[in-house]
Amino acid sequence: MFIGGRVIKVVCPYCGFGCNILIDPKTLKITPYKGEPNRGKLCPKGLHALEFVFSKDRLMYPLKKVGEDFVRISWDKAMEEISSRLLEIRENYGADAVAFIASSKVSNEENYLLQKIARLFGTNNIDNCARLCHEASVHALKMTLGTGAQTNPYSDLENVKAVLIWGYNPAETHPVVMDYILKAKKKGAKIIVVDVRETTTMKLADYKVIIKPGTDITLANAIMNVIISEGLYNKDFVKTRTTGFSEVKMGVKKYTPEYAEKVTGVDSRLIREVARVFAKAGSGAIMWGMGLTQHVSGVENVLAIIDIALLLGYIGDRGGLYPMRGQNNVQGAAYMGALSEFLPGYIPLNDENFRKRVARLWGVKDLPTERGLYLTELWDAILEGDVKALYIVGENPAVSEANVLKVRKALTKLDLLVVQDIFLTRTARFAHYVLPAAAFCEKEGSYMNSERRIQWSSKVCNPPGEARPDWVILSELGKVLGLPGFNYSRVEEITEEYFKMFPELEGRSAEELKNSEGIIIPYRRLHTIQFSTPDGKARMYAVEQIMPWETPNGEYPLILTTVRVISHYNTGEMTLRSPSLVKLMSEPVVYISREDAEKYGIKNGDLVKVETRRGSLTLKAKIANVKEGVIIVPFHFDANVLTNDALNKAGTPELKFSAARIVKL
Ligand SMILES: Nc1nc2c(c(=O)[nH]1)N[C@H]1C(S)=C(S)[C@@H](COP(=O)(O)OP(=O)(O)OC[C@H]3O[C@@H](n4cnc5c(=O)[nH]c(N)nc54)[C@H](O)[C@@H]3O)O[C@H]1N2
Ligand SMILES: Nc1nc2c(c(=O)[nH]1)N[C@H]1C(S)=C(S)[C@@H](COP(=O)(O)OP(=O)(O)OC[C@H]3O[C@@H](n4cnc5c(=O)[nH]c(N)nc54)[C@H](O)[C@@H]3O)O[C@H]1N2
Ligand code: SF4
Ligand SMILES: [Mo]
């Protein structure tokens, strides 16, 4: 969309908050969009979002590995060779020997196409990085409320009387949402932050709750113990709109604040105070992030905090649940069906009516019904010889998965690895074929942010060399594989096709979306009258503390957790190619407590080796306000040589807890 006839509106390529940036196509100057959702604000990543686009490292031509090197080949030859290898592997080993990884970085249209290709090819082996991220929240929300997404729009945050921020550090990870929280605070809302360290977000907190890593269920249960025993819960809401209360009441009985203090390290008086303040506020939002989901107890962690909201009736216009989505289009990738257990719209594979309707739309009788492999299950499946070919779009598992040394080994075992990216990433270096994609501002399409707002992103400039938009590459792939229905000539044809998957979008045009301030689906505020469960009631679950997979011991006495910093983004492929961001942080560090620094004779700036059972990493030490016994590494610089790949029920690894040791070099 052209705004004022000159600047072009584009969705920020980084986080799931979903800011719009305005780009002047002549000067390439970036300014923030004044409307929803960013209201004239951008963080440093958004402000410098064009720097990686013009990096000299951009992929320009399709490449094929010959011996140890990559050689340039034509698009036609690349597509022909890739499709004949895929068909041959299907012929010899079946469709499930092929897996596809979709991308939370690319548009709805592109994710929709990739999952359509996978399913028409005959497999549900299609997944995206939601698996490493908020899939535990999706599972817990579906179990309790029936719908796996953020319940309320950002604007509701301004009107609540309390905000509980748990295992989530928006000041670094969704900086613009802080404005909404600040507005609430200015109107008198109490801000409570629960984390394992003093975070930047805590600058805004009325209550700073510093907890031992991995003990969140105990804290949540103790908060509920206080709320129930002091009669502070919303009896009417609990009675009319939920089931499972008596189970929860029994379940939290033993979790007194005094007991919880021993497990969590949080003062029992603070637990009581926080429980009372949050319960008496009358309305409240709960926002959470990776500190809860990236644990073997990920699903249960989220169930526990949803219970708090349900006990208090903080749903609808009295609050909301905010599992703040990570990547700019992770919510869209999920809604488009790029998940191995869901069809578009999070509809389960065994919903025969819907599945057959989608199949008919795609010109076939039926689609595969068995759940596909999770992204995080692929590596063992490759090492065991069950998966022979992998097609990756915009994902960098050689850096982003837990225990990456194992992943890198698996990547060498494939008969066929295709990587479609904008850079020759660490993962792409393992590939047999590398396909150059256009970056976000070199193509058009729609994206969905954390509040479920679908927004159109327009084209500013042409891609470099022979790079093509992902949707163009995927339309071609569908065609060369001989699949029906891939004759797209305009991206809007794909937009209007995916609209057919959703009752609230069916019949609307791409033009309508382009001329709107985005469309929130299914509607702005979920569950106001009833929940999306079969009986319309929310189901509460009692959950017991589940301890992390590894226990620190004499050999590995420390707890390692991995976090994000404002200036860098995930595997660093984009931000490490952005000079303005590199200036803000240029090298990897490990944060350690004053006590541990003293114990190990470490000074600020010393080089140390951090080791776990999986690998080791040399980092610069920085003394910080963290708990004794805990060390913290920003994950953007190869931290996953260290992390544990034990999975929770939703398939997310325990990226937030490893037993570790530290050696001064
Ligand atoms: N600048 C920047 N922004 C980003 C990203 C980025 O890489 N860089 N990535 C995007 C993506 S994909 C995502 S998913 C989001 C993630 O956004 P966040 O969830 O905010 O990100 P993290 O820093 O990984 O983890 C949040 C917090 O969990 C805490 N934590 C660790 N272990 C525990 C625990 O056991 N209990 C509790 N209560 N807390 C714990 C950490 O100290 C950390 O402060 O950010 C998005 N935005
Ligand atoms: N230790 C540790 N590990 C973690 C986490 C953690 O907290 N700690 N967090 C996890 C989480 S929440 C997530 S979401 C994952 C993220 O893991 P990844 O998704 O693997 O990480 P990104 O660096 O965001 O990778 C995105 C890729 O998309 C490419 N790309 C960008 N734009 C385009 C485009 O338009 N087209 C194409 N084809 N490619 C494009 C980029 O170059 C990059 O290679 O990491 C996970 N790993
Ligand atoms: S808050 Fe997120 S969406 Fe907004 S500018 Fe920063 S990275 Fe982009
Ligand atoms: Mo994420």
State how far the Cα of 286 lies from the Cα of 197, in Å rounded to an integer: 19
Which carries the bigger pLDDT value, residue 591 or residue 5?
Answer: 591
327 Cα to the center of ligand 3, angstroms: 10
329 Cα to the center of ligand 2, angstroms: 11
Domains 135-324 and 558-664 equal at CATH topology level: no
**Per residue in 130-141, pLDDT tens?**
999 999 999 999
- Give the bridge partners for 166, in sequence order: 194, 288
Test site for ligand 1: of 199, 449, 564, 581, most ligand atoms within 8 A of the Cβ? 564
Q: Report the nearest-CA residue for atom 5 of ligand 3.
A: 46
Atom in ligand 1 nearest the alpha carbon of residue 166? 38
**Per residue in 396-424, pLDDT tens?**
999 999 999 999 999 999 999 999 999 99
349 Cα to the center of ligand 2, angstroms: 26
Minimum-distance ligand to the CA of 323? 1
State yes or no: pLDDT of 2 exceeds 50. Answer: no
Atom in ligand 2 nearest the alpha carbon of residue 133? 12
State yes or no: pLDDT of 100 exceeds 90. Answer: yes
CA-nearest of 127, 134, 136 to 296 is 136
What pLDDT band is residue 1 in, cutting at 50, 70 and 90? very low
Q: Residue ranges per domain, the chain?
A: 8-54, 63-130+335-441+464-487, 135-324, 558-664
pLDDT at 656: 98
- Residue 588 gets the label, from left (phi > 0), alpha (psi -120 to 50) or beta, of beta
The residue with tokens 């044809």 is 493
Average pLDDT on 350-364 reads 97
pTM above 0.75, yes or no: yes
Please answer whether residues 66 and 74 qualify as being in contact, where contact means their C-beta atoms are separated by less than 8 angstroms.
Answer: no
> How big is the chain by its Cα radius of gyration, in Å?
24
CA-nearest of 311, 312, 282, 307 to 189 is 282
What pLDDT band is residue 221 in, cutting at 50, 70 and 90? very high
Query: Considering all CA atoms of the chain, what is the largest pairwise distance in Å, rounded to the nearest integer?
Result: 71
In degrees, rounded to 5, the angle at the alpha carbon of residue 180 between the alpha carbons of residues 176 and 181 is: 105
Q: Report the nearest-CA residue for atom 34 of ligand 2.
A: 439
Minimum-distance ligand to the CA of 564? 1
Q: Report the nearest-CA residue for atom 19 of ligand 2.
A: 395
Minimum-distance ligand to the CA of 471? 2
Minimum-distance ligand to the CA of 324? 1
CB-ligand 1 contact for 193 (6 Å cutoff)? no
> Which protein residues are within 6 Å of ligand 3, measured from CB?
12, 14-15, 17-19, 38, 42-43, 45-46, 174-176
Minimum-distance ligand to the CA of 12? 3
CATH number of 135-324: 3.40.228.10
Atom in ligand 3 nearest the alpha carbon of residue 15? 2
State yes or no: pLDDT of 94 exceeds 90. Answer: yes
State yes or no: pLDDT of 125 exceeds 90. Answer: yes
127 Cα to the center of ligand 4, angstroms: 13
pLDDT at 123: 98
128 Cα to the center of ligand 4, angstroms: 10
State how far the Cα of 582 lies from the Cα of 607, in Å rounded to an integer: 20
Average pLDDT on 507-513 reads 96
Sign of the CA dihedral 457, 458, 463, 466? positive
Q: Report the nearest-CA residue for atom 40 of ligand 1.
A: 291
Average of per-residue pLDDT values in the chain? 97
State how far the Cα of 300 lies from the Cα of 543, in Å rounded to an integer: 6
pLDDT at 5: 59
Atom in ligand 1 nearest the alpha carbon of residue 219? 38
State how far the Cα of 520 lies from the Cα of 524, in Å rounded to an integer: 6
CB-ligand 1 contact for 395 (6 Å cutoff)? no
Three-state SS annotation for 92-142: HHCHHHEEEECCCCCCHHHHHHHHHHHHHHCCCCEECHHHHCCHHHHHHHH
Test site for ligand 2: of 17, 57, 114, 132, most ligand atoms within 8 A of the Cβ? 132
Test site for ligand 2: of 425, 565, 570, most ligand atoms within 8 A of the Cβ? 570
Atom in ligand 1 nearest the alpha carbon of residue 632? 42
**Per residue in 156-214, pLDDT tens?**
999 999 999 999 999 999 999 999 999 999 999 999 999 999 999 999 999 999 999 99
Test site for ligand 1: of 128, 164, 173, most ligand atoms within 8 A of the Cβ? 173
Burial group, residue 229, by CB count within 10 angstroms (0-12, 13-18, 19+): middle
State how far the Cα of 47 lies from the Cα of 20, in Å rounded to an integer: 11
Beta carbons within 8 Å of 548's beta carbon, 6+ residues apart: 213, 214, 295, 296, 297, 654, 657
Phi and psi of 136, rounded to 5°?
A: -65, -35
**Per residue in 570-624, pLDDT tens?**
999 999 999 999 999 999 999 999 999 999 999 999 999 999 999 999 999 999 9
DSSP reduced 3-state for 77: helix
State yes or no: pLDDT of 627 exceeds 50. Answer: yes
**Per residue in 423-457, pLDDT tens?**
999 999 999 999 999 999 999 999 999 999 999 99
CB-ligand 1 contact for 213 (6 Å cutoff)? yes
The residue with tokens 């509106």 is 9
**Per residue in 10-49, pLDDT tens?**
999 999 999 999 999 999 999 999 999 999 999 999 999 9
CA-nearest of 6, 84, 53 to 467 is 53
Distance between alpha carbon 4 and the CA centroid of its chain, in Å? 34
Q: Report the nearest-CA residue for atom 4 of ligand 3.
A: 19
**Per residue in 320-336, pLDDT tens?**
999 999 999 999 999 99
Q: Report the nearest-CA residue for atom 23 of ligand 2.
A: 571
Structurally, at CATH architecture level, domain 63-130+335-441+464-487 sits in 3-Layer(aba) Sandwich (3.40)
558-664 fold: Barwin-like endoglucanases (2.40.40)
DSSP reduced 3-state for 219: helix
Average pLDDT on 221-245 reads 98
Q: Report the nearest-CA residue for atom 8 of ligand 3.
A: 46
Tell which CATH classification among 2.20.25.90, 3.30.930.10, 2.60.120.370, 1.10.760.10 matches the domain 8-54.
2.20.25.90
